[in-house]
Amino acid sequence: MKLPASVRILALCQALYTIGISIQLTLTGLAGLQLASDKRWATLPFSLIILSAAVTTLFAAHWLQRAGRRSGFLLGAGSGAFGGALAFVALWQHSFALLCTAALFTGGFQAFAQYYRLAAADSVGSETKGRAIATVLTGGVLAALFGPLLARSAQGWLPGVLFGGAYLMASLMGIATATLIYMGYKPVHMTVSTKDSTVPPRRLRQIVAQPVFQAALASNAVAYLLMAGLMTATPLAMLGCGFTLADGAGVIQWHMLGMFAPALLAGWLVQRLGVTVLGLTGTLLLLLASLLASQSLSLPAFYIALLLLGVGWNFMFVAGSTLLALSYRPSERGKTQASSEFATSLLAALASLAAAPLLQQLGWQQLNHYAPCLLLLPVVLLLRQHRQSRRSGSDD
């Protein structure tokens, strides 16, 4: 079945967003270090991006349902464009407070962009939701290839403002996203059956009690928690092992390729093998990544472990997002997506904030030794959901 044109537009939006946000996440810590009078607060703007995204996720879901996806995605892209421009002004004016304010708007862009994949899933039938989600995530491949290159080349555009050109580039990505949405995005909604249109929406606790929702949330949240925590800790761990910043940048770039390139395959796998097999394969890859990282501090080990971490995250995230899209009726979309995305974003934010202290206390190898314990939850819930779907005769 051919996917709607709106899915391809959302994949391009995902690419532009990921390029813009990767520039901001790469440089915000360094910009904070430059502007903060007390260097202990240097990472505050970085943390504010993540926390703002988590909080805004709740608002974004309800806005998208009530005002429409086109309006919501335009608002998110505009927030990203303004955040990048404001960060440039902060660097120009040497204002740490302005940089922190800019981070809040950048987090808003991230919150709305998280719904690109779910908008794609809602535009197709249940049998192709996984492929639609995976197609949108392939947009991140372009970001993994060109994001770091653009960040390095753009930061020298304005010699008098360190990193200023890179932040203007991030702002341009927001403007480009808004232009693409305004000119080319036409939301597609599946026809609501008479039964679904007459049945009143369920309470949130009823939706959350479903095994399909619990399996979706566990897959998404645990994948994001491990990915965000270990990715944040990786550059610090590598510096502690004597590697250079260039080595760290190379490892993160391969990690980003691992996060998005497999989406080209995940869409096919979820249709051929099913959601459960894809999700369990992702947990296995995350387990292998942690085991490798806990056993070796060599540069190849960092490269392979972070690549496996990215691929495992992708498989678990595609599986979890597909299950999430199957857990609600159209009238329940806003509150269901909001609760899942908020929980996932909040855990990712906490993992990022805790990464440095845990790394300092435990060390890189010990941190990876404990990480796989978290994978038990999605494994159990995915298997339970699979058994229930087989009993009910549905296809997962």
The fraction of the chain above a pLDDT of 90, given in percent, is 46
Phi first, then psi: what are they for 123, rounded to 5°? -90, 0
- As a whole number, the mean pLDDT across the chain is 87
Predicted local confidence at residue 285, as pLDDT: 96
Q: What is the DSSP letter of 96?
A: H
Q: Tell me the C-alpha distance between 175 and 145, whole Å.
A: 21
- In this prediction, residue 156 has a pLDDT band, given cuts at 50, 70 and 90, of low
- In the predicted model, is pLDDT for residue 259 greater than 60? yes
Q: Tell me the C-alpha distance between 130 and 97, whole Å.
A: 42
Q: Which residue has the higher pLDDT, 262 or 297?
A: 297
Measured from the Cβ of residue 301, the count of other Cβ atoms closer than 10 Å reads 14
Q: Which residue has the higher pLDDT, 180 or 231?
A: 180
Predicted local confidence at residue 269, as pLDDT: 81
Residue carrying the six token digits 């990786």: 234
- In this prediction, residue 321 has a pLDDT band, given cuts at 50, 70 and 90, of very high
Measured from the Cβ of residue 170, the count of other Cβ atoms closer than 10 Å reads 33
Q: Which residue has the higher pLDDT, 170 or 235?
A: 170
* Positive or negative torsion for Cα 299, 304, 309, 310: positive
22: left (phi over 0), alpha (psi -120 to 50) or beta: alpha
- In this prediction, residue 384 has a pLDDT band, given cuts at 50, 70 and 90, of very high
| Domains of the chain listed by start with CATH number | 1-187 (1.20.1250.20), 204-396 (1.20.1250.20)
Terminal CA-CA length for the chain: 18
**Distance set, CA 244 to CA 51, 235, 247, 332 (Å):** 29, 9, 5, 49
